[in-house]
Each structure stands twice: as structure tokens, then as C-alpha cells.
Structure 1
Amino acid sequence: MTGPLTDLRVVEVTAFIAAPLGGMTLAQLGADVIRIDPIGGNIDYRRWPLSPEGDSLYWTGLNKGKRSVALDLRRPEGQEIAAAIITAGTPGDGAGILLTNLPASGWMGHAQLAARRADLISLRLTGSSDGAGAVDYTVNCAAGFPMATGPGGAPVNHVLPAWDVAAGLYLATGLLAAERVRARTGRGEEIGLALSDVAIATAANLGYVADVQVNGTVRPPMGNELYGAFGRDFETKDGRRVMLVAISNRQWRAIGKATGLAEKLAMIGPMLDVDMDDEGGRFTARHAIAAVLAPWFAARTLPEVTAAFTGSGILWGPYQDFGQLVREDPRCSTANPMFAEVEQPGVGRVLMPGSPLAIGADRPVPRPAPKLGAQTDAVLAEVLGLSAEAIGRLHDEGVVADAAGR
């Protein structure tokens, strides 16, 4: 493993998106992330989409670069091994870190584990700040965003599990912050994060909470229009759609220059008595601006729009489905140094991203997700110092399993 976090060992006992994504983020930066699962896999192990052989492309996507240990976590023997792996090592060694989204009770509670290792860092993701269970979909519906998404008339959920993704990155950030404190003071920490807090904090950070309090305004649904500035989608001659945005005055002038419509667009300000050099003015005049620009897009194919806008300083992009992203966009290919073609066990050779972070001149090479239990024996030997005979007995007793499920 290479990367800035090669001196960290993180033990992950998780399922679904947020916490596994947090662990993967750390693994892509070089941390030794050991994921512990029940024998046969946790509840996310077969989640869609699946490969033709039945392997979860979702699970392999979120567990790249980790090591996998399979234990019978229902039995005290399996719980004891898991606790020993989590707390193994000595102060100052970069280990003793737990990442989980499972309940803080019993053998995996912070107090129980900290009794075995005083400088333990544990990060625990919960659902709602009021103690209720929650997932991205139930948090999202309450955070206001679906009511402001789409054309109006009914709430619209977005496909992206945004709060899971954001929570995963918060977890990685919180872990690094706690580890930094531990490096200075030698003190461990228990860190909690509620998924609902991630969503509601984001609504407040973007100004929507203050907008209600200060202005009495609730952001309305506006389809694909940009709120408070000019931005919207346009259809091209060949039936594609593009998103066009002008936030700065330079970007606004670039649109007029590239389309040859600068004079017509300049007429809108005096006609509607708005300042077209102001974001709010362009927002007020958005329908008139769109009426001028729409025929220009309708008369041109996407390649013609691309040719006109390339190098112009315009903020724009084509709408693409996932197939078009893979087949047409060079940013989703090995032309992008983030990607490499990697052999994923059980799936085959796939385009795999490493970390989006570029730290220095080199990026860590993307590493595949493990087969469930593939590193069980290695972790038991390296981390716990168990002999081959002791590991064999655990297999015979059904306490641990390898990649073959034995």
C-alpha cells in the first residue's frame, strides 16, 4: 500500500453506503482498512447491481482496497476475535481505530473496547439525531430538498444518496481529526455522527434555513433552473440536452460572444429594467434570456455546440446517462489518471477509480475489493499473532471463514 495514510490501521464493521465509503476513502489514501463481516456477508453483500455471476457491483465498488475478515459475530468467540483485532497494538502505533454504523452496545460499545485499549478511537454513524432509525431516503425527504427539486406539484427524490456520501466523507474527516488529537495528547475519542444532522446542516450551510428565518422565503421547485442566477437546460438539434450556467459577468459575456447573441441579450436589461451585470438581475430575466438562447441550441447538434463552446470560458456540460458517461466521456476512462483497468475478483476487468485527491505527482494505484473473508487468515496471523494451528481450529469450529466460505 502507498499513500499518506500508510501508518493507519482502521477496523470497519459496517453495512450499506456511508460508513463503507468512509473506510474506502481512507483505504484509497493508503490506510490498512480491515472490514469485518459475518460469515456469508452482511446485509449489503448482495445488493444491486449484480454481475452475471451474482457478485454485487455495489459492494465491490464501496470496498476497494480493504482487507476482508469473516467471523461468526453471533458467537462470543467471534466477538472476542473482532474486539481483539479492533484493539490490537500499542499506543502510538496508528491502530486502535473502529469505524461502524452498528449500535453502540454490548461487545462493540466504546467503553467496552476502550477498557482493552485506552487510546481507542471509535466513530459511529447513527440515523437521526433524536435517536430514531434513518437511512438516506428518509432523511432526504425531511430535509426539504425533494420539495425544491423537479418542476413542482410533487416531491422528487434524487437518485444520488447524497447524505450517505457526505456522511462517509465526514466520517473520514472526523477519524483523521481524532487521530491528530491522539497523536498530540495520547487520548482516544468516541465520535458520533447522525445522518440527519449531515442533511440538515447542509440545508443550513447553503442558506435555506436562514432564508426562511430572515426572509420568510421557502425555496420553490424550479425544474432545471439555477436559483438566484442564470442557469438552465437547453435541447439541441439532435435531441440532446445541455446545462448552461453564468455566475460571473465574465461567463455571462462569454455566452453572448460564443453564440453571437450579445446584442440581443443586451437588449433584455433595459426592456425588463434589470441589471444584467448582476446575478439577481439575470435570474429575474431568466425566461427572456432562455427565449433568446433556445433557438440557437435548437439549430445546432451537440458536436456543434461543443465546438462553439470549447475554449470559450463558458460553464456548460452535456446531460449524459451512465452509458454515455462510460462510452463517450474521456474523463471516465484511463485518459483520466484517477482510473485504471483492474481485475476485480468475481466480476472481471473493470474501470476502477482511485482517490479523486491528487496528492503530489503520483496517485495511488486503484486496488480491487476483496473477496469476502479473503484475508481472514492473514489478519489473524499478522494482527493477533495466531499460529496456523490455532487458525485451523477456528475454521474447524466455524468461528472464522475464508474466501471459500470455509
Structure 2
Amino acid sequence: MHSPTPSQDRPDLPDLQGPLSGIRVLDITSVVLGPLATLVLGDYGADVIKIESLTGDLMRANGVSRNPGMSSVFLALNRNKRSLALDLKSPKGREIFLELAASADVIIHNMRIPAIERLGLGYDVVRAIKPDMVYCAATGFGQDGPYRFKPAFDDIIQGACGMASLAGQASGTPEYVPSLIADKTAGMAVVNAVLAALFHRERSGQGQYIEVPMFETLVEFTLAEHLGGLAFDPGLAPAGYGRIMSGGRKPMPTADGHVAMLPYSPGHWIALFQRVGRSDLVETYAITDRQKLNAVVRDLYRELGIMTLSRTTAAWVAICEELDIPATPIYSLDDLPDHPHLQAIGMFQSMDHPSEGRLRYVRPATRFGATPASVRLPTPLLGQHSTEILGELGYCPQKIERLREEGIIVATMGSSPPPNTAVGKEDG
């Protein structure tokens, strides 16, 4: 069956309708966890209004930059969003936010709960204005526990959930995974929770409060395979998935580099040993079933690491393809734009940004046959859409300028002008 190829990689087509088209999200998150969640919602078609402080999201400064405030990390996480730079600590800023809330479907924040309550923007306040609001708080720790007010960042959660300990198994010293794995995993949990709540609202008409605690989310994530003996009460053995904890699998050295190869079944190992003239190893290890394979798997990988030195990476990949054994060369991050599969599917796209020039980005990976995800808006400058968004609320140009002069908003030069027929607000 031929798979549809939606035009999700066509930022020049502004009329694409994603599955969340018509949903408005107020995004008062920052750094990585929240922005990654709202990135996905925006790619899926939601109108995401990114409400930033007057100095902007901290992540605007992290990564590689051509111009201040538009770092590589910020660019990657904040496309398909409109930026409203607003002082939420001011009464006027709070008023504007609540006016926007009346027109929104989803609010997502990653502040600590006392902080959002001090702003007067907690769930009870919002629900009084918009009863069917889906309101998601991405917290560091669950609010039912003693850690509920503690600060949480990726490093802290990796350390707390067992992941840093796992990453340091080989060296004996805890290490962080070299990726913002806690932020990104929790961010995807926020996406799932918001989509589920929107589905519930569609069926029942009811909004709800959601809490996605980072720590608990990563404990659940880490223990999916590592619960081990703790799966029984009382425990039968220590936690941990033995196959991973005991080591063995790793990139194998070849005559000219390294290869990732995974003979997974007894049949794979037998076919591989026979193919390269080492049938003797089939007899030595008697790997006739999964139980026997598991018992000697570290020995098998030791033998494999010696064997792979005899051929090039390309030769081993070819052998594995012949035997239908999973394998790949080891790609560096810089190699990925040249990966033949990624090139063939157009995973890397380019666009012209109003301030940053020509940019490369990774298109949405998920494909929808009828409602394609798409990149419709480039990552915004700080306050780029403040004027536009306030105009949609009915604010006249004079009042918008007064808000700017009073330090309530930042409106970047060149942002869209307000409608000429503003109504419903102070007339100048």
C-alpha cells in the first residue's frame, strides 16, 4: 500500500491544516521542557502564543548564535509560535493574559506552583474565566510530596531518577547522559497529557487541571526496563535490567572505524559465525535457544569485538544486510544531514528567517495522511507578535504604544501592525 506523503516539510504553504488546527495554546514555559511540548503542538497545527518575559526566554542565549537572543537551541524549539513579550507581574500584564485566556483552549506553564499563584494566574482563576480550559502545570516534583517546591533541572532529575547512576555503570562514577533527556522526555509527556485532556474535552465538554511532574515522569521512564527484582514484593533481586547492566553491547571496532551491529536471536549469531568462517564458535557456545544465548551473551560480544577488526565498517554492514541482522555505521551529529535515509525523506529543510538569514531545521518526524504537521512560522524574535496579538484583542495602535512605553510589553520593530478597525478597547 502506498503511504501518503503529506507536505509537512513545506513552510511556504501557510494554509496547511494540522490535526490541532483551531486550538489556541498559551505557552508560558521557558528553557526546554515546556518549549519542546509546545513545539510539537505548534507543528500539529495549534496557534501557540509564546508569552515571554520582557527579557525573553533564558534559552535565547544558549547555543550557537548569529545574533544575540536567537540561539541554535531556541531556534530549534520555538518555531510555529508567536511571541508576546509581556510583564505578567504587572496588573495590566495580568489583565492582558486573562483576556487571552478567554480565547484559548490550553495553558501550559513550568513555573513552581507558588510562583504562578503569586501572579494570580493559577488554575482556579483561569477556570473562572474559561471553565473548559485544559490547564497543564509541568512541575519539577509532584505537588503531593515533600519535594513539591524544590527547583528541578535536567541534571537534578537525571541524578535523582537513577539515570546518572546507570550512565556511570562502566566507569563506576555517576555521569549525565549527554542529552537533555529528562527535559525532553517530560516535554513529550506534557504533549501526551494535553492531547488526552483535549480528547476528553471533545467528548465531555469539560476542561481539567493536569500536572506532569518531571521527577516522577523520569522515574517511570527509567524503570520501564530497570525495575528488575523490585517488580516483586518483597523484591527478588536488585533493580536493573541484567542484559544492560552486565554490559556487552557496544559499538564494535572495525578495520577503519566502528560499527553498531545487533545479532539479536540465536539464529542471527549462528548465521553470522557461519558466514565469516567461525562455525567453531557455534559449537563452543551452543546457542540453540534464548536462555542459552542470554547466559553467554557477554562472551559472544567479546568474540564479536575481536572478529570485527578483520573487516571494514562497510564490509560488516554488507554482511549484516545479507543476513538481515540490524547494523549501521556510527554517525556523528555532523554526519546526520548526509545520512542517505534522511536525505531521501527530506528530514533536513531550510528556510529564510527575517533576522537570521538562511536556517536549517529538522522537519516534524510524525506523518499525518489527512492533516499534515507543518512548519508555518519561523522562530520569533522577542515580542515579534506583541502588536499583532494585542490588535486581535481589539487594542488600538495608541494603546499598544502606551503599553510599550510603560514597560508592560516589548514590541519588536517590524512586527505585524494591528488591525485598522480595532474595537472594544480604549479608543486611543
TMscore range, shorter length = 0.7 to 0.9
1:318 to 312, 321, 329: 329
Instruction: Verify the 8 A CA contact 2:19 2:371 in the aligned structure 1.
Output: no
Alignment map for 1:7-406 (pairs within 5 Å): 7-47=22-62, 49-54=63-68, 55-88=70-103, 95-104=104-113, 105-106=117-118, 107-129=120-142, 130=145, 131=148, 132-150=150-168, 151-208=170-227, 210-211=229-230, 213=232, 214-219=235-240, 226=244, 231-238=249-256, 240-256=257-273, 259-261=275-277, 263-270=279-286, 275-278=287-290, 280-310=291-321, 312-326=323-337, 328-333=338-343, 335-360=344-369, 363-367=372-376, 368-382=378-392, 384-404=393-413
CA distance in 1, matches of 2:151, 2:94: 24
The size of the alignment, in residue pairs, is 386
The separation in 2 between residues aligned to 1:40 and 1:342, in whole angstroms, is 26
Q: Once the 2 structures are TM-superposed, how far is the Cα of residue 378 of structure 1 from its aligned partner?
A: 1.5
State the shift of 1:313 in Å.
Answer: 1.6
Q: Secondary structure at the match of 1:11?
A: strand
- For each residue in 1:212-249, what CA deviation from the matched residue of structure 2 results, as whole angstroms up to 9, or x when unmatched? 753222438x9xx84589733211111x2222223334
| Secondary structure class of the residue paired with 1:68 | strand
* Secondary structure of the corresponding residue to residue 371 of structure 1: coil
The normalised TM-score by structure 2 is 0.82
Q: Distance in 1 between matches of 2:30 and 2:90?
A: 19
Distance across 2 between alignment mates of 1:253 and 1:391: 73
Q: Match of 2:249, SS?
A: strand
- Going from structure 1 to structure 2, the CA distance change for 1:212 and 1:56 (only over 3 Å counts) comes to same
User: Is the partner of 2:194 in helix, strand or coil?
Assistant: helix
SS at match of 1:310: helix
What's the offset of the Cα at 1:305? Answer: 2.5
By how many angstroms is 1:183 displaced?
1.8
Contact residue 228 and residue 237 of structure 2 kept, 8 A:
no
Could you tell me whether the CA contact under 8 Å between 2:44 and 2:374 is conserved in 1?
A: no
- Describe the shift of the 1:202–1:322 C-alpha distance in structure 2 as closer, same or farther (beyond 3 A): same
Q: Is the 8 A contact 1:229 1:282 kept in 2?
A: no
Note closer, same or farther for the CA distance 1:23–1:163 as it changes in structure 2 (3 Å cut).
same
8 Å CA contact 1:5–1:31 kept in 2: the answer is: yes
Q: Answer yes or no: is the 8 Å Cα contact 1:268–1:285 preserved in 2.
A: no
Distance change in 2, residues 1:244/1:230 (3 Å): farther
Deviation for aligned residue 1:167: 1.0
Percent of residue pairs identical: 25
Give how far 1:332 is off: 4.2
> What amino acid sits opposite 2:185 in the alignment?
A
- Conserved in 2, the CA contact under 8 Å of 1:251 and 1:315? no
Residue 115 of structure 1 aligns to a residue whose secondary structure is: helix
Distance 1:403 1:116, change over 3 A: same
Deviations 1:88-120 (A, max 9, x none): 2xxxxxx33101101331321011111112112
Cα distance in 2 for partners of 1:356, 1:219 equals 31
Amino acid at match of 1:19: G
Structure 1 residue 345 displacement after superposition: 4.1
In 2: Cα distance, 1:108 partner to 1:82 partner: 9
Structure 2 counterpart of 1:50, one-letter code: V
Segments of structure 1 that go 5 or more residues without pairing to the other structure are: 89-94
Change (3 A) 1:283 1:156: farther
| Letter matched to residue 53 of structure 1 | N
1:390 Cα deviation (Å)?
2.8
Moved more, 160-169 or 145-154: 145-154
- Segments of 5+ residues of structure 2 without an aligned counterpart are 1-15, 416-428
Task: Tell me the C-alpha RMSD between the 2 structures.
Answer: 2.6
Q: Match of 1:175, as an amino acid?
A: V
Q: Check the 8 A contact 2:230/2:238 in 1, yes or no.
A: yes
Counterpart contact for 1:12–1:34, Cα < 8 Å: yes
The residue type equivalent to 2:90 in the other structure is R
Change over 3 Å in CA distance of 1:286–1:147 after alignment to 2 = same
DSSP-derived class of the 2:366 partner? coil
Match of 1:91 in 2: none
Cα offset, 1:142, TM superposition: 1.9
Tell me the amino acid that sits aligned with residue 173 of structure 1.
N
Tell me the CA shift for residue 43 of structure 1.
2.4
TM-aligned CA distance change 1:228 to 1:53, over 3 Å: same
- Pair 358,175 (structure 1): closer, same or farther in 2 beyond 3 Å: same
**Deviation readout 1:323-381 (Å, 9 max, x if unpaired):** 2233x423444x32343212234433233122211111784343421122111112112
- Secondary structure, aligned partner of 2:60: coil
1:265/1:232 CA distance change after superposition, 3 Å? farther
